[in-house]
C-alpha cells in the first residue's frame, strides 16, 4: 500500500486488498485537512507549495501585519477603501513617495481654533524678531517713534546737545559755567543743571538745561529703544 506525500492518503495498488476502512481513513484525513486551525505567528517564507494549514496561517499572519491588531480577525481602525489620494470627506489621505500629500489633494482645512491664518497675521506680514534695539536722537518736546510689532518696550535717554552749546555739552562740576556763546550753564550747585527724561506713556522727551539767567535752554536727547515679545 502506498501513501500520498502530504496527507498520507492511501493509494491502493493492483495487488492490494482494499476495504471500507481504507476509504474511511482517507475521508477522515481529507476532513481534517480541510478544517485546519490557523497559527498567525507563522511568517510566510515562500510562495509554496505548502499544506492548507500553512496557507491559512500565512494569510492570517499577513492580515495582522496589515491591520496592526493583536488578533487577525479584529476589525482595523481604517480599512483600505478609506485611504485615497484625492481629498474626500471621511477618508484618509495617502502620502506620495516624498512623504508629502500629493498635488491632487486640495481643500479648505485652513483654520486653527476656528480662525483662518490671516486672523493671526496678514499675508504680507513679517513676524518681528523676539528682541529688537534701536538708537536715535529726538529734540526736546518731541516723541520717540515706537517700533511696531512688539508687546514690551523700554526706553533710556541721555542728553545729546543743548541749543547754542553743541554736542560737547557737559554738566560736570569741573566744567559747568564755562561754556561761551549765549548762555553759561548754571554754576550754582543748589539749582538743577539740566533735565533729560522720557515720559514712558506718551514717549515725549524732555531735554533742557538751566542757564544762569534762570531760563531753560532746549536741546536734544539720545535715546535707546529696547523691544521684545
Going by DSSP bridges, is the β-strand pair 152-162/216-228 parallel, antiparallel, or unpaired? antiparallel
- Per the structure, the complete domain to which residue 173 belongs is given by 131-228
> pLDDT band for position 172 (50/70/90)?
very low
Question: Comparing 111 with 139, which gets the higher pLDDT?
Answer: 139
- 114 found inside a domain: no
187 pLDDT above the threshold of 60: no
- 52 found inside a domain: no
pLDDT, residue 145, reads: 95
Question: Per the omega criterion (within 30 degrees of 0), is the bond before 208 cis?
Answer: no
**Distance (Å, whole) CA 32 – CA 23:** 14
- 142 found inside a domain: yes
Report residue 64 as a C-alpha cell.
495582522
pLDDT tens column, 188-211:
444 456 788 999 999 999 998 876
What is the count of structural domains for the chain?
1
- 216 found inside a domain: yes
- 135 found inside a domain: yes
Q: Is residue 79 within 8 Å of residue 90, measured between CB atoms?
A: no
- 222 found inside a domain: yes
DSSP secondary structure letter of residue 46 = S
pLDDT, residue 61, reads: 95
- 31 found inside a domain: no
Q: Is residue 145 within 8 Å of residue 167, measured between CB atoms?
A: no
Beta carbons within 10 angstroms of residue 163's beta carbon: 18
DSSP secondary structure letter of residue 80 = G
Mean pLDDT of the chain: 77
- 49 found inside a domain: no
**Distance (Å, whole) CA 50 – CA 57:** 11
> pLDDT band for position 156 (50/70/90)?
very high
Amino acid at each position: 500500500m502506498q501513501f500520498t506525500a502530504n496527507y498520507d492518503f492511501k493509494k491502493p495498488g493492483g495487488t492490494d486488498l482494499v476495504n471500507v476502512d481504507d476509504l474511511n481513513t482517507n475521508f477522515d484525513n481529507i476532513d481534517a485537512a480541510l478544517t485546519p486551525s490557523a497559527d498567525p505567528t507563522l511568517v510566510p517564507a515562500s510562495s509554496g507549495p505548502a499544506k492548507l494549514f500553512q496557507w491559512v496561517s500565512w494569510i492570517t499572519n499577513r492580515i495582522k501585519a496589515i491591520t496592526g491588531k493583536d488578533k487577525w480577525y479584529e476589525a482595523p481602525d481604517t480599512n483600505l477603501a478609506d485611504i485615497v489620494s484625492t481629498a474626500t470627506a471621511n477618508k484618509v489621505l495617502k502620502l506620495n513617495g516624498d512623504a508629502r500629500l500629493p498635488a491632487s489633494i486640495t481643500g479648505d482645512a485652513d483654520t486653527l481654533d476656528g480662525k483662518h491664518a490671516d486672523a493671526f497675521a496678514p499675508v504680507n506680514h513679517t513676524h518681528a524678531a523676539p528682541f529688537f534695539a534701536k538708537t536715535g536722537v529726538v529734540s526736546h518736546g518731541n516723541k520717540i517713534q515706537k517700533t511696531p510689532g512688539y508687546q514690551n518696550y523700554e526706553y533710556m535717554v541721555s542728553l545729546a546737545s543743548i541749543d547754542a552749546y553743541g554736542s560737547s555739552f557737559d554738566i560736570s562740576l569741573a566744567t559747568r559755567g564755562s561754556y561761551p556763546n549765549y548762555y553759561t550753564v548754571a554754576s550754582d550747585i543748589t539749582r538743577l543743571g539740566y533735565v533729560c527724561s522720557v515720559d514712558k506713556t506718551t514717549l515725549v522727551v524732555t531735554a533742557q538745561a538751566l542757564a544762569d539767567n534762570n531760563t531753560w535752554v532746549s536741546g536734544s536727547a539720545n535715546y535707546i529703544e529696547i523691544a521684545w515679545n
